[in-house]
Amino acid sequence: MSKYKDKKPSMIEFTRKYANNDQACEDFFFRAKYPNGYYCEKCGCTHYRKISTRNHVYTCSKCGHQSCLFAGTIFQDCKLGLYKLLLGLFIFFTSNKGVSAMEMRSQLDVNYKTALLLCRKCRVLMTECNSEKILDNMFYEADVAYIGSRSKEPGHQGCGTEQQPFFIALSTSRNNNYPQFIKLRAVPKDDRETTNAFLTQSLVLSKDRTLNTEGKTTFNIMKDRITVVNEKIDYSKD
């Protein structure tokens, strides 16, 4: 039986929460920069006050050190307003098929150079997150994608293809839910040993966790370390 993903956040929901609400946008980026709460990089103090005469600048209550919202981040020199920047991130990271700079330019009503730079920064964020994070959730999904033209030569179909294989793993908070994090890696070949190495390096594994593989048998090598489920998931439903 096919299963369906829960409905992902809509543009209407996003707009209702953040449009014309600069404080909500600032709070979003503040939590992203200080996920465990504010701390001063100079003295370690956790108390601060906002400077009312300057946008998105905070001063340490103890030593007086000032810090800007985007200082030291990839968006340090970004000229976009908070809502337009957040909207660009929402469009990029919720798109099912990717977003071009031309489309981003149209959606945000900015020039092409600005849209291209934002798309590039989004891809950098994806790369940094993908390389550093080990996925740690109760539910995972994994699959293999191939890039390149298909060979018509005998013996080069299926796992013997000459196309470049990419392993994909994602983690969700609930079974069959939309992903919170995704790991993507180009691998030399698609086989059981490579599968084992990729998932061992990418996921926190235990038998009380679930890995959905959509029926790909090479993932069965993980059955002694995680519960492997082979069920078809319908990604066409929102």
Confidence at residue 59, expressed as pLDDT on a 0 to 100 scale: 94
Cα torsion for 17, 22, 26, 29, to the nearest 10°?
Answer: 50
Query: How many Å apart are CA 153 and CA 196, to the nearest integer?
Result: 28
Confidence at residue 237, expressed as pLDDT on a 0 to 100 scale: 53
Q: Are 212 and 232 in contact (CB under 8 A)?
A: no
Give pTM, 2 decimals.
Answer: 0.60
Task: Fill in the DSSP letter of residue 204.
Answer: -
pLDDT per residue as tens, the chain (238 positions): 345 555 667 899 999 999 999 999 999 999 999 988 998 989 999 999 998 888 899 999 999 999 999 988 899 988 899 999 999 999 998 887 778 999 999 999 999 999 999 999 988 887 776 566 788 889 999 988 887 666 555 554 544 456 778 888 888 877 666 777 888 787 888 888 888 988 998 899 999 999 998 778 889 999 999 999 887 666 555 4
Task: Fill in the DSSP letter of residue 7.
Answer: P
Nearest to 136 by CA among 92, 202, 68, 51: 202
pLDDT tens per residue across span 80-95: 999 999 999 999 988 8
pLDDT tens per residue across span 9-45: 789 999 999 999 999 999 999 999 998 899 898 999 9
Confidence at residue 233, expressed as pLDDT on a 0 to 100 scale: 63
Burial class (CB in 10 A: 0-12, 13-18, 19+), 222: buried
Q: Degrees (nearest 5) of the Cα angle 236, 134, 2?
A: 25
Neighbouring residues of 183: CB distance < 8 A, sequence distance ≥ 6: 130, 133, 135, 167, 168, 169, 170, 202, 203
Instruction: Give percent of the chain above pLDDT 70.
Output: 83
Helix count and strand count (H, E) for the chain: 6, 10
Residue located via tokens 């071009």:
100
| Rg (the chain; Cα; Å) | 22
Dihedral sign from CA coordinates of 93, 96, 97, 99: negative
Confidence at residue 107, expressed as pLDDT on a 0 to 100 scale: 94
